[in-house]
Amino acid sequence: MPSNKSVSDAPIFQFTNCRILRNHELQREDLWVREGKILNPEKLFFDEKGSADIQLDCKDSIIAPGFIDVQINGGFGVDFSLATDDFKSGIDLVSQKILSHGVTSFCPTLVTSPPSVYHQILPQISVRNGGAHGAGILGVHLEGPFISKEKKGAHPERCLRTFEAGAFEDLLATYGSLDCVRIVTLAPEMQRSSEVIRELTQRGICVSLGHSVANLSQAEEAVRQGATFITHLFNAMLPFHHRDPGIVGLLTSDKIPAGRRVFYGMISDGIHTNPAALRIAHRAHPKGLVLVTDAIAGMGLAPGRHTLGQQVVEIDGLNTYIAGTKTLSGSVATMDTCVRHFLEATGCSVETALEAASLHPAQLLGIEHEKGTLNYDSDADFLMLSDSLYVQATYIAGECVWRRDTSGM
C-alpha cells in the first residue's frame, strides 16, 4: 500500500505479534506509533491511505502502559531528601535506572525534612518528559512534615509541624514553593487541615491522607474538602477497628461525594503488608488500588546502612529499618517486583495487576488521557513484558529507552 505522507513525514512504527492491554483486557492486535503517540490504524488506513514504515516483531510479548510510581524516595544510592551539590545528577541517575523496572514516569518523594532542605531541593526539581535520559518527572510528592507524631513511622519527630493560624501560609513558608509539587501527604485530624486541603486542591495538587491517627469521620471530611489519595494503606495509620475503621474505612465509605474516587497506595513488597491484607483491600475497592514502591536510596544496592532523609536506615534482606530499631522505613522493592507480588498475592488477573501500576496512578493524577493507557492519541510510553511480567523492553514516546540484554542467555 503506498504511504501517504500528507499528515506527517514522521515514520510510522507497527509493533506486531503482541497482546496489547487495552480497555482492561489483553487483545491480540498490532500497536501503531507515530511521533510519540499511539495511532488509530483505521484512520491511518482509510483517511491517510498510510502504512507502516518500520515493522517490529514483538515475539508474542505483552505490551502494557509504562508504570507510574507516585511514591519513591530515591534508589541506587540517591536520597531525594538529602540536599547535595549534585542533586540533579542524582535524580537523573534514578530516573535512568528505573527504566529497567518498567517505570516511565514518577513523582520523586521527599520525607519530613527541615524547611531549609525543602528550600534547597525543590527548586532543583522540574517537571519533564521522559526519554532516553530517563523516566519522566510528573512533580514532587511531599510526604510530611504536617503529620501525626504518633504515626510518624520513619519520619524524624524533631522536624514534624502542625498548622498554626494562617495554616496555608505556614505550609508555603515551610516548603518555599509549590511550583513542581504534585502530591502532599498530611494528617487530616490536624487543626486547620480542611482549609489547607481546599487550597492545595484548588491549585491542582493531590492531597493524600497518611501518617495519621484520623478516625473515619475526619477522613471523610478530608475527602469532602478534596483529598483523593491514601498514603501506603495500613502503614502509619490506626489499625482497622470494626467500630471505627479509621482511614481504612474510606475504601467502603458511603460518604464519598458522587463522582469522586478515593485511591490508595499499597507497598506490595511482601514486607509492608501481609498478603491477606492486600487481598482484603483489593477486593473491597479494586479500582482505587495504586501500587507504589516507597523505595529508598538502598534500592538496587547491597544490604547495609543507607539514608532516608535525616535518618540512618539499615537494610536486612528485603527489610529496611531505622538503624537500631524495628521501625520499617520505606522499601527496596522495584515496581516490577511489586506488580508480580501483587498478582501472586491476590490471584487477580494480569490486566488488573498491570493497571494498578499504570492506569490507576494516571487516574489519580488526572493524566489518564495522556498516560497509563494505550488508547489512541495517548503517549506511546509502554513496556514489552514476558508472560510472567518480567520487563523485556521499555519505550517512552515510541522510542526504546531500555532493552533486556539477552546475549548471554
| Same-domain pairing of 39 and 138 | no
Residue 129 is predicted with a pLDDT of 98
Decide if 408 is inside a domain: no
Residue 44 is predicted with a pLDDT of 85
| Same-domain pairing of 41 and 123 | no
Query: Between 335-346 and 275-284, two packed helices, what is the crossing angle to 10 degrees?
Result: 80
Residue 142 is predicted with a pLDDT of 98
Residue 7 is predicted with a pLDDT of 62
| Same-domain pairing of 121 and 28 | no
Decide if 119 is inside a domain: yes
- Output DSSP code: residue 218: H
| Same-domain pairing of 124 and 147 | yes
- Residue 213 CA to residue 189 CA, distance in Å, equals 7
| Same-domain pairing of 35 and 178 | no
Decide if 3 is inside a domain: no
| Same-domain pairing of 174 and 306 | yes
| Same-domain pairing of 282 and 263 | yes
Query: In this structure, what C-alpha cell is assigned to residue 350?
Result: 494480569
Decide if 6 is inside a domain: no
Give the structural domain span for 314.
66-365
Task: Provide the CATH number for the domain around residue 56.
Answer: 2.30.40.10
For residue 65, cis peptide bond before it (omega within 30 degrees of 0):
no
> Which residues are documented as binding site for substrate?
154, 235-236, 243, 272, 328-330
Residue whose C-alpha is closest to residue 281's, from 213, 333, 324, 235: 235
Residue 69 is predicted with a pLDDT of 98
Task: Provide the CATH number for the domain around residue 174.
Answer: 3.20.20.140
| Same-domain pairing of 150 and 25 | no
| Same-domain pairing of 189 and 281 | yes
| Same-domain pairing of 20 and 91 | no
- Residue 26 CA to residue 62 CA, distance in Å, equals 8
Contact (Cβ atoms closer than 8 angstroms) between residue 179 and residue 214: no
- Residue 264 CA to residue 250 CA, distance in Å, equals 9
| Same-domain pairing of 92 and 210 | yes
Decide if 113 is inside a domain: yes
Decide if 409 is inside a domain: no
Distances (CA, A) of 180 to 27, 118, 141, 183: 37, 12, 9, 10
> Which residues are documented as binding site for Zn(2+)?
143, 211, 232
| Same-domain pairing of 356 and 226 | yes
- Residue 397 CA to residue 130 CA, distance in Å, equals 8
> Which residues are documented as binding site?
143, 154, 211, 232, 235-236, 243, 272, 328-330
Distance of CA 212 to the CA centre of its chain: 21
Residue 65 is predicted with a pLDDT of 98
Give the number of domains in the chain.
Answer: 2
Residue 4 is predicted with a pLDDT of 46
Residues 221-251 as b/e (b if ≥16 CB within 10 A, e otherwise) read bbbebbbbbbbbbbbbbbeeeeeebbbbbbb
Per-position pLDDT tens, the chain of length 409: 444 445 678 999 999 999 999 999 999 999 999 999 999 999 888 888 888 999 999 999 999 999 999 999 999 999 999 999 899 999 999 999 999 999 999 999 999 999 999 999 999 999 999 999 999 999 999 999 999 999 999 999 999 999 988 999 999 999 999 999 999 999 999 999 999 999 999 999 999 999 999 999 999 999 999 999 999 999 999 999 999 999 999 999 999 999 999 999 999 999 999 999 999 999 999 999 999 999 999 999 989 999 999 999 999 888 899 999 989 899 999 999 999 999 999 999 999 999 999 999 999 999 999 999 999 999 999 999 999 999 999 999 999 999 998 765 4
Query: In this structure, what C-alpha cell is assigned to residue 37?
Result: 503517540
Give me the active site residues, please.
Answer: 294
Decide if 106 is inside a domain: yes
